[in-house]
Amino acid sequence: MFPKETYVERRAILKNTLKTGIILFPGNGESPMNYADNWYPFKQDSSFLYYTGIDHIPDLYFLINLDTDEEILFGNNTTAEQKVWVGATEKLESYAEKSGFKTVKPLKEIDTYLKTQLGKGRQVHYLPPYRFEQKIALSDLLNIPVKELDAHKSVPLIKAIVAQRERKTAEELVQLEEAVNITRAMHKHAIVNTRPGMTEMQMAGQLNGIAVSGGGGLAFPIILTKDGQYLHNHASQTVLQDGDLVLCDCGAYNTMGYGGDMTRTFPAGQRFSPLQKDVYNIVLNAHNTAVAALKPGIRFKDVHLLASKKLVEGLTDLGLMKGNADDAVATGAHTLFFQCGLGHMMGLDIHDMENLGEEYVGYTPELKKSTEFGLKSLRLGKELQEDFVLTVEPGLYFNPFLIDERRAEGKYLDFVNYDAVEQFKTFGGIRVEEDFVITKTGSKLLGEPLAKTAEEIEALRNNQKL
């Protein structure tokens, strides 16, 4: 945990923004995999973690009563019978002390507390719940049908939290740096140790081990695949072969719950083919151009469009596209090969605060999120500010299904040389992803640099020291 003052201060800022009513934060519970006592790894709710620092303990709530200036942590200590299974556990009162809570109450008291407050006409602010257990619990506590919970979420609370969590403090940046370095170790291991003949899963398993050893575990299911053209294709039993491109997108949480998210694409054999290298360099150029454009005040949507233009220019040089690059991007022709967004905020969540709603996290009332294919997957569009942490992850994805469909529809005929594209339907996909913090004048890479050019990656694969 950070020092107690961090959490007291974070809650104080939140209190100042909202002024009246009750702010209710449910912590997460254990989530069963296939029967009640067999759980997925525990993941605390990120806003709960941000304001309390309390991780690993399921079924907690905290609330801030703005009208009485109370902060109460609700939960149960483990009983002797539970300790038969789990051993000694730190007392809730000890966590409360470290988090700066003066009052701890048993879980069963939250129902009466909230019903009394609701009886007095007090407003309860809550975030949109994303787990079914949370939805049922909130529905019971607040007398709101599950289906209506979303309509009653507190937009002022969402906005106040986004404004607070989107700018990372110096102590958070230390944690993010650590998470990205664990993530970097996963990628370095994959680049050095992947061999033809291994299955995707065999390497993904080794990377999982590095993430778990780092103390926090995987930040999201590992994408390690020769079929990188499918954006979230997870590792499978597919055997990697010489000539394949391996797209590895993975990341780890550190012990404090902060995450890292990187992607590298490398040859399953020793070297990229000349064509693979050409396409790789197009993606790398788009990546570097985007990174050079990062600074406070620039709209990330414009950086996305700039990277898209670089991709189009590269594909034009390669003979796959034609015409004016700006017009191609304006028409959306680049989405035949780059179907998603350039990046997203990162922090306690890999897609930071996505559960609060992308319209509040990545956009503003003046800049609404597009509903067009491609742009609708851009999670961050708004102006960047100093201390934002985000990913930059352009890619080229030769999806045979999409190519066939767009060709049959007669789309983008002014910009795409479909005959030339045909031979790329088995090419795969390439992405290069790194994490950055926005500084006063530009951006700074998080974590130690890792081999990024095709030559550096080949050198690292062939065990040369860089």
State in angstroms the smallest separation of the CB of 221 from Mn ion.
13
Report the C-alpha dihedral over residues 405, 410, 413, 415, rounded to 10 degrees.
-40
Q: Among 45, 166, 200, 261, which residue sits at the site for ligand GLY (rule: CB under 6 A)?
A: 261
Nearer to ligand GLY, 70 or 354 (CB): 354
Residues forming contacts to Mn ion in the complex (CB under 5 A) are 261, 391
Contact string (CB under 6 A) for ligand GLY, positions 289-308, x = contact = --------------------
Chain positions 194 to 253 lying near ligand GLY, rule: CB under 6 A, are 220, 249
State in angstroms the smallest separation of the CB of 220 from ligand GLY.
6
In what side-by-side order are the strands of the sheet with 443-445?
A: 389-392, 434-438, 443-445
Characterize the bridge pairing of strands 443-445 and 434-438: antiparallel
CB of 314 closer than 8 Å to CB of 289: no
Which amino acid is it at 243?
Answer: G
Q: How far apart are CA 429 and CA 51, in angstroms?
A: 39
**# binding residues, ligand GLY (CB under 6 A):** 4
200 binds, among Mn ion, ligand GLY, none (CB under 5 to 8 A by kind): none
Q: Does the CA dihedral 398-399-400-403 come out positive or negative? A: negative
CA angle 432, 178, 100 (to 5 degrees): 130
State in angstroms the smallest separation of the CB of 18 from Mn ion.
31
Nearer to Mn ion, 268 or 390 (CB): 390
State in angstroms the smallest separation of the CB of 249 from ligand GLY.
5
* Strand, helix or coil for residue 87: coil
Shortest CA distance to 178 belongs to which of 99, 251, 247, 263?
A: 251
Which backbone phi and psi does 191 adopt, to 5 degrees? -65, -40
Concatenated DSSP letters of 159-216? HHHHHHHTSPPHHHHHHHHHHHHHHHHHHHHHHHH--TT-BHHHHHHHHHHHHHHTTS
Nearer to ligand GLY, 129 or 228 (CB): 228
Is residue 434 near ligand GLY by the rule CB under 6 A? no
Chain positions 328 to 347 lying near ligand GLY, rule: CB under 6 A, are 344
State in angstroms the smallest separation of the CB of 219 from ligand GLY.
8
DSSP3 helix / strand / coil % (the chain, rounded to 5): 40, 15, 45
Nearer to Mn ion, 434 or 458 (CB): 434
Nearer to Mn ion, 200 or 261 (CB): 261
State in angstroms the smallest separation of the CB of 198 from ligand GLY.
22
Q: How far apart are CA 122 and CA 116, in angstroms?
A: 9
6 binds, among Mn ion, ligand GLY, none (CB under 5 to 8 A by kind): none
In the block, which residue shows the tokens 């709960």? 48
Alpha-carbon Rg of the chain, whole angstroms? 24
177 binds, among ligand GLY, Mn ion, none (CB under 5 to 8 A by kind): none
45 binds, among Mn ion, ligand GLY, none (CB under 5 to 8 A by kind): none
State in angstroms the smallest separation of the CB of 384 from ligand GLY.
18
Which backbone phi and psi does 339 adopt, to 5 degrees? -90, 0
Nearer to ligand GLY, 287 or 344 (CB): 344
Nearer to Mn ion, 227 or 434 (CB): 434
State in angstroms the smallest separation of the CB of 233 from ligand GLY.
11
Nearer to Mn ion, 124 or 389 (CB): 389
CB of 446 closer than 8 Å to CB of 437: yes
CB of 194 closer than 8 Å to CB of 462: no
Nearer to ligand GLY, 244 or 261 (CB): 261
State in angstroms the smallest separation of the CB of 276 from ligand GLY.
21
State the residues that interact with ligand GLY by CB under 6 A: 220, 249, 261, 344
